[in-house]
Amino acid sequence: MTAPRYQVVPQPIGTILTWVKSKEIAIPEIQRPFVWDASKVRDLLDSLYQGFPIGYLIAWNNPTVRLKDGGHAAGKRILIDGQQRVTALMASLLGITIINKDYVTTRITIAFNPLEEKFEVLNPVIARSKEWIPDVSEVFSADVHMLNLVDDYCAKNEGVDKNKVFDVLNNLVKIQNNVVGVIELSNELDIETVTEIFIRVNSQGAQLSQADFAMSKIAANETYEGNLLRKAIDYFCHLAVAPEFITTIQERDKNFAKSEFFPKMKWIADVNEDIYDPSYTDMLRVAFVSEFGRGKLQDLVALLSGRNFETREFEEAIAEASFKTLKDGILNFMNKTQFQRFVMIVKSAGFVSNSLLGSQTVLDFAYIVYLHGRAKKMDPSELETIVRQWLVMAMITGRYSGQAESIMDQDIRQINQIGLVKYTKLIMDSALTDSFWESLLPQEMETSSVNSPYLSIFFAAQVKNGDRGFLSRDITVSTMIQNQGDIHHIYPRKFLKSQGLSRTKYNQIANYAMTQSEINIAIGAKDPDKYFAEIIKQIETGKLKYGGIKDERGLKKNFEENCIPVSMLKSGVMEYDEFLKERRILMAMKMKKYFQSLGEVEMEQE
């Protein structure tokens, strides 16, 4: 008979809080940012007071680990669903400080009105009111005597019913006795099953990820300094987007500031670049795949648990080695020289703004490729070429848009098996054939999404070539992208709309071009026949109306740079559908030449 996968055990809330305080159950989110608003904490307490259910908690009983001396030790339980709820209860009822979403240590203080039996987030008005107990944790303090508490309250509120106040506060304390169902996952379950259960669980409408599970596993381990490693991951990612956070670390987490991690990450606070602002998921993924040669984060959870994939047992030695390897991966990720060199490679391919990089996953694997090549001591120029071309190939083919982890797993295993140069060439040659550029890509470009990778790569190609915006004499596409230039409809949107065309039709990406605002405004909603005729007249008369181009040669070059059919200068404006078809082909050919040229890009000096 198969052992049950789980059992549901009703547990009093007080017991769960005791488990957390005694570290019998791990709540890693206490040390990670708490994302609930104070009002949600208030509502949770009110639900408990009213006797309403607050949902199940899910805990995983870690597998029994074989120790070096041959003995066995059971791991802690990890609360994999319900972390925010339990943290909210600990913060409000026990007065424990938490770290908020801005990484600031703070208290969540909930007040209680015994007369109205009402909870509220503490504010200055409530703090001045005698009817409110300003901090509900006072009622739950081990040092408090209920009769004294009631006497003090009644002394401040003359005429209140003392017995009623006593009953209300007594009922409040009794919420610790409210029972919540704890779903305890068996320690006999394999990692794959536990992970599947984990990622199927929804918390406040947001599906939990394998990276969340891995971070929980890391944070819960103090033996191999997982809690410190977790901070390194969180802090680096936060510093990348909020450099001022460095002061918070130095002043409020002095122990971490003295650790080996802080000196190796603090450089990121001086960087104003936002090309690659990694989340903890990105950082975990890159560190794991590059160091372990696997692509699925559920395998990281297994290895950190000490799983031997051959014997299917759990061994402390494997857990210890896995934490060390992950630490190496995290340190490699945040290495200043490597990180900045990678960003430079990305920019050298024309991606001068993160607005051109829609997929963070593509960036992640490009960084994995770079770190792999560095570890193999590849020639820098050859490695840079591979990284640039792989980045573009992955974007333009949507390589990681589906089953990203499975594809990553396949890619890294093949790279390790047959070599980076051979494998990447094999994939790129098979994916980016002449028929792809000449037939498939123009067809795929029949889309209205401004976030399309095809449009981003087209703009990157223009940046790399130093092209100027549509009808601009001097202002480049690169300058406009970095300064929020306009994406203009070559055949004006309002004009096409007046002709009865739908949004998906007039917003085709083949109808887009980077354009200076003043040129865009001058064109407005004009009939293309009219404003193209005026452009030609501008060349003939020298009287500027659209941009600063005065000669036919300059206008022809501008049309070529923006993939506008040059024939329109002689034979007039095409029918809209014919224009789209012709421009898609021109854009695809430009992207093909761009891709082929990426290996020739000269890196700027460090």
Contacts of 435 (CB under 8 A, 6+ apart): none
Rounded Cα distance between 368 and 405, Å, is: 13
Under the phi-then-psi rule, with left for phi > 0, alpha for psi from -120 to 50, and beta for the rest, what region is 302? alpha
Residue 203 reports pLDDT greater than 60 = no
Residue 293 reports pLDDT greater than 70 = yes
Q: According to the model, what pLDDT value does residue 199 have?
A: 60
Q: According to the model, what pLDDT value does residue 27 have?
A: 60
The mean pLDDT of 245-271, rounded to a whole number, is 92
Residue 170 reports pLDDT greater than 50 = yes
Contacts of 236 (CB under 8 A, 6+ apart): 265, 268, 278, 283, 333, 334
What's the pLDDT band for 63 if we cut at 50, 70, 90? low
The mean pLDDT of 221-236, rounded to a whole number, is 90
What's the pLDDT band for 101 if we cut at 50, 70, 90? confident
Domain residue spans of the chain: 6-195, 209-404, 441-600
Q: According to the model, what pLDDT value does residue 605 have?
A: 36
Exposed/middle/buried for residue 245 (C-beta within 10 Å: 0-12, 13-18, 19+): middle
pLDDT, tens digit, 9 for 90 and up, residues 408-466: 999 999 999 999 999 999 999 999 999 999 999 999 999 988 778 999 999 999 999 99
Rounded Cα distance between 225 and 231, Å, is: 10
The mean pLDDT of 105-116, rounded to a whole number, is 91
Instruction: Tell me, yes or no, if the pTM score tops 0.85.
Output: no
Under the phi-then-psi rule, with left for phi > 0, alpha for psi from -120 to 50, and beta for the rest, what region is 343? alpha
Residue 378 reports pLDDT greater than 50 = yes
What's the pLDDT band for 17 if we cut at 50, 70, 90? confident
The mean pLDDT of the chain is: 88
CB 523 within 8 A of CB 531: yes
Could you please report the per-residue DSSP string of 65-98? EE-TTS-EEEPPEEEEE-HHHHHHHHHHHS---E
Identity at 377, one-letter amino acid code: K
What's the pLDDT band for 30 if we cut at 50, 70, 90? very low
Higher pLDDT, 571 or 260: 260
Higher pLDDT, 591 or 22: 591
What's the pLDDT band for 71 if we cut at 50, 70, 90? low
- Work out the percent of the chain whose per-residue pLDDT is above 70: 91
What's the pLDDT band for 31 if we cut at 50, 70, 90? very low
pLDDT, tens digit, 9 for 90 and up, residues 559-593: 999 999 999 988 888 999 999 999 999 999 999 99
What's the pLDDT band for 94 if we cut at 50, 70, 90? confident
Residue 230 reports pLDDT greater than 70 = yes
Q: According to the model, what pLDDT value does residue 402 have?
A: 81
What's the pLDDT band for 206 if we cut at 50, 70, 90? very low
State the alpha helices, DSSP H only, in 295-419.
297-304, 316-333, 336-348, 360-375, 380-397, 404-418
Q: According to the model, what pLDDT value does residue 571 have?
A: 83
Rounded Cα distance between 416 and 409, Å, is: 11
427: tokens are 């994939």
Local structure of residue 143 (DSSP, 8 states)? T
pLDDT, tens digit, 9 for 90 and up, residues 480-496: 999 877 789 999 999 99
| Of 480, 478, 559, the residue nearest 515 (C-alpha) | 480
| Of 485, 556, 482, the residue nearest 514 (C-alpha) | 485
pLDDT, tens digit, 9 for 90 and up, residues 516-570: 999 999 999 999 999 999 999 988 888 888 888 989 999 999 999 999 999 998 8
The mean pLDDT of 32-59, rounded to a whole number, is 87
Q: According to the model, what pLDDT value does residue 3 have?
A: 55
The mean pLDDT of 197-222, rounded to a whole number, is 68
